[in-house]
Structure 1
């Protein structure tokens, strides 16, 4: 078993203990025991493919396959190894495994590209353990000014403590399949807070970043396509809203005199949905979390907290919709006699993929016999962070029902194989362009 089929099988293998910290499902948080176990397994697979493997100061796992000129800037291929709680097996790991398979194919053929290839497994794209996301890719991209080592997970374990406890790799030489490959897992020193920002890549050492990922949407499946070229990642805005009314007895407070925070919040949420629906574009708006207080069945809610997530491939469209949403929320609050507070907690600009790399991807797609299809990503990815470091390219792979962040997440091995062939075609074309530069 090789190629796309093996990539899917390895994702499946990492979906259960000891690679999951959750009984009966998949959860692999950054720097948890399951994360360490998954890194150990992945490190062996990288070494078998002919790569030298190391752990960087931010606890990202990196496998390097040398090129004809080791001093040339490297092509990075990667995605994330962590998962959400009770998540699916392919969101993140599939892109890593396809990167390993691409190197294995080159190694089997005795091929070297003009540039080195590094496969990188980022640690916390999801932010499902600590209240921050993409710390590890931000560290690599050099956009992380300071690390919040004091932040803690739900058990009270700080990032500093988790990093210090993460086990280093033990020297375990594995014979590489590529001739004269300096492969194997290298011993690493213990991780520490002092070195975290040392994960940043030096200027001029990175040629491009390539990420394959499940689509997390229904477009490819609806159009009967296995793969698609990503044009960019949508701009994202996130707000925390607090609605305050007056708590009261559910049996004695008359309906006309109530200042029900939950009823008002419900009307606000319907207004949020309406704004996105009426735009008739790629704009989406989501209320993903809600909390009603005091939370008793016989008490009118006096306070409600909820989040709003607004996204679009067009930042101006996103901002315009967010403004309309806030106006509607304010109007509803005034009509109902409620107080509101809206705090912006997240603002990520749109991250377009590199036009020249998109063209190479389309050519590679067409070479496999599939129709090129370009689409925007509504979900965030490490690629949007890496765009600050180098040109980026993304390839979407069809997923059944467009389902992700769910145990029902599914990718057909045949689709993974198509994605692998596209990636290899992309690498070949990048190599030809690099050689002619």
Structure 2
């Protein structure tokens, strides 16, 4: 019945939202405080000693692991995007707690810990992986000056939440304190479903970069003849179509999710247009090769239309390969569920594991999700798949225990 309990707990957490219609749970909010308390209680029920760290992550360690041995860390995140589903991140935390419960008295050559990260999505302050980067030693005090949409700084929000802003960096785990990190997560893609597989082994987390791309032309009355126009929005529109064409041809993932136009008037030719570009591929080299082709095409469009063009990078991350021995542990765990040939998958989406990779080796287990839908209220998983995920992650931990003796 542990899978049923996981799904019931996911339902319970979904009730804690800043929105009445849909799920929104952001960093350093009352909603996070409530789910942190609930997760901490579930950790204690599973035989873990639980505590909040300096970055508002919820941590748990087996009661019998009262020594200083390095720990195998299991977990994911509890924050969401606006209008989220119930399982992105949350499933990984709940599966980790179930595995810890099953292993509460097992003899292991390492300590066992669970973490529920407080900020992976970056919904409130625009910078992702704040919780896991703090744990991995990558916290930057400059982030305290980030502001949310209401003008509240991260420093102010942390103080209101009960944190000491200047101490958030103290959440960092010392080098050598972990033997590895395993994260269970919904696939956020359709391959497992297409192949009728419940689980998969993540080989690497894709390299990503986000840019803002702006075209500047000349705002004029809509009566201006075509030959005198320098329409920034037409340039941006042509550029967006080029992004899709080139990324498709190169096998990269590209998304334009935001567009801004000035002066944004019905009868005025736009003098300025800006759009976001989220570009991902299995490696940084492949991502950058696609960007080179896109940039060349954007420059051609700007020259042809008499526009100025600017690029600004807002986020960049290299690929994060999963460690071979942790990939094998995950595969061994999946094999115990009856799948004799576990499928390898590249994660196009980013995860907390990317940040934790700066501290220790990482491994990831993917779980089938209906239609590959994620970051949406229609996010769905099957109870039998969740049961297999719990079994596989437990078996992966036991496999590592035999390998690391």
Query: Do both share a fold (TM > 0.5)?
Result: yes
Partners of 1:204 and 1:268 lie apart in 2 by 47
Q: Residue in 2 aligned with 1:15?
A: 14
Find the partner of 1:164 among 147, 159, 182.
Answer: 159
Paired residue secondary structure (2:168): helix
Report Cα offsets for 1:140-182 as digits up to 9, x if no partner.
111224342122111122111211121xxxxxxxxxxxxxxxx
The answer to whether the Cα contact below 8 Å between 1:68 and 1:114 also exists between their aligned partners in 2 is: no
Q: Residue in 1 aligned with 2:114?
A: 119
Aligned runs of 1:32-431 on 2, under 5 Å?
Answer: 32-66=29-63, 70-107=67-104, 110-166=105-161, 190-250=162-222, 252-279=223-250, 281=251, 283-370=252-339, 371-431=341-401
Paired residue secondary structure (2:143): coil
The answer to whether the Cα contact below 8 Å between 2:25 and 2:80 also exists between their aligned partners in 1 is: yes
The answer to whether the Cα contact below 8 Å between 1:69 and 1:115 also exists between their aligned partners in 2 is: no
Q: Residue in 1 aligned with 2:3?
A: 4
The answer to whether the Cα contact below 8 Å between 1:67 and 1:117 also exists between their aligned partners in 2 is: no
Paired residue secondary structure (2:173): coil
Q: Residue in 2 aligned with 1:177?
A: none
How many residue pairs end up in the alignment?
Answer: 404
Q: How far off its partner does 1:104 sit?
A: 1.4
More moved, 290-299 vs 79-88: 290-299
More moved, 87-96 vs 285-294: 285-294
Q: Residue in 1 aligned with 2:402?
A: 432
Partners of 1:32 and 1:346 lie apart in 2 by 24
Q: How far off its partner does 1:202 sit?
A: 1.2
Q: How far off its partner does 1:277 sit?
A: 1.1
Q: How far off its partner does 1:66 sit?
A: 4.1
The answer to whether the Cα contact below 8 Å between 1:7 and 1:94 also exists between their aligned partners in 2 is: yes
The answer to whether the Cα contact below 8 Å between 2:283 and 2:318 also exists between their aligned partners in 1 is: no
Report Cα offsets for 1:8-28 as digits up to 9, x if no partner.
221111112xx1111211000
Paired residue secondary structure (1:229): strand
More moved, 356-365 vs 25-34: 356-365
Q: 1:67 to 1:428 in 2, by over 3 A?
A: farther
Partners of 1:265 and 1:342 lie apart in 2 by 12
- RMSD over aligned CA atoms reads 1.3
Report Cα offsets for 1:7-61 as digits up to 9, x if no partner.
1221111112xx1111211000001011001111111111111111100011110
Report Cα offsets for 1:201-228 as digits up to 9, x if no partner.
0122101000000101111111101110
Unaligned runs of 5+ in 2: none
Partners of 2:224 and 2:64 lie apart in 1 by 75
Partners of 2:239 and 2:64 lie apart in 1 by 56
Report Cα offsets for 1:394-427 as digits up to 9, x if no partner.
0011111101111111111111111111001101
Partners of 1:119 and 1:267 lie apart in 2 by 48
* TM-score (norm: length of structure 1): 0.90
Report Cα offsets for 1:217-269 as digits up to 9, x if no partner.
1111111011100001001111111111111222x122232211111111111
Partners of 1:67 and 1:375 lie apart in 2 by 35
Runs of 4+ in structure 1 over 6 Å off = none
